[in-house]
């Protein structure tokens, strides 16, 4: 069963179960996927649908941060619930130890010596962690490891 078929099945289940939150999020996914499909002019693969979901999840994460800073915990909670549903469609995230191992390997391969060469590391690293780790958090960790290595 493809990811889009799974999303369609979940949409029907949410409709039957009167799960308004899940219904809303699944409709959001379907709409975003349909827009991407129209833009690209072909049926989306599971990987492309995952990229759409990852974008939506990233938006939710940013919204949670902004609502929390603004003291709107009610809206932050709503976004957290939506994020949990979006993450249920994404592959499991790598644990920090595994991410560190991949980062150190990418640093060795790229030959980066200090923080100024972070771009080299990220070019090697991003294809390996796409979808299984948060890019922002990984970028911060790469900076930390490069700073520690240059001292």
- 73-85 pLDDT, tens digit each: 999 999 999 999 9
pTM summary value: 0.75
Q: Output the average pLDDT for the chain.
A: 88
- pLDDT of amino acid 10: 92
Residue 7 structure tokens? 């999303």
Give the Cα separation of 47 and 50 in Å (integer): 5
Which region among 38-42, 129-133, 140-144 has the lowest average model confidence (pLDDT)? 129-133
Q: CATH 3.40.50.10420: does it fit domain 96-150?
A: no
pLDDT digits (tens, 9 = 90+) for 15-58: 999 999 999 999 999 999 999 999 999 988 888 898 899 899 98
Residue 51 structure tokens? 């990229």
Residue 21 structure tokens? 């939150």
- pLDDT of amino acid 17: 92
Q: CATH 1.10.1510.10: does it fit domain 3-87?
A: yes
CA distances from 122 to 2, 19, 90, 106, 134 (A): 30, 40, 22, 8, 13
Give the Cα separation of 40 and 49 in Å (integer): 12
- pLDDT of amino acid 109: 87
Give the Cα separation of 126 and 106 in Å (integer): 10
Cβ neighbours of residue 131 closer than 8 Å, sequence gap 6 or more: 50, 51, 54, 90, 91
Domain limits, CATH 1.10.1510.10, in the chain: 3-87
- pLDDT of amino acid 20: 93
């Amino acid at each position: 069963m493809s990811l889009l078929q799974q999303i369609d099945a979940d949409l029907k289940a949410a409709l039957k179960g009167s799960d308004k939150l899940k219904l809303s999020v699944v409709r959001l996914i379907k709409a975003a996927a349909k827009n991407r499909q129209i833009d690209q002019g072909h049926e989306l693969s599971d990987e492309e649908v995952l990229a759409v979901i990852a974008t939506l999840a990233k938006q939710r994460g940013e919204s949670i941060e902004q609502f929390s800073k603004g003291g709107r915990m009610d809206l932050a909670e709503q976004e957290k619930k939506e994020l949990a549903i979006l993450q249920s469609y994404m592959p499991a995230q790598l644990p920090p130890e595994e991410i560190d191992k991949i980062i150190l390997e990418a640093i060795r391969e790229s030959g980066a010596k200090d923080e100024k060469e972070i771009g080299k590391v990220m070019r090697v690293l991003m294809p390996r962690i796409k979808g299984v780790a948060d890019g922002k958090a990984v970028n911060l960790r790469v900076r930390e490891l490069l700073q520690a290595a240059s001292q």
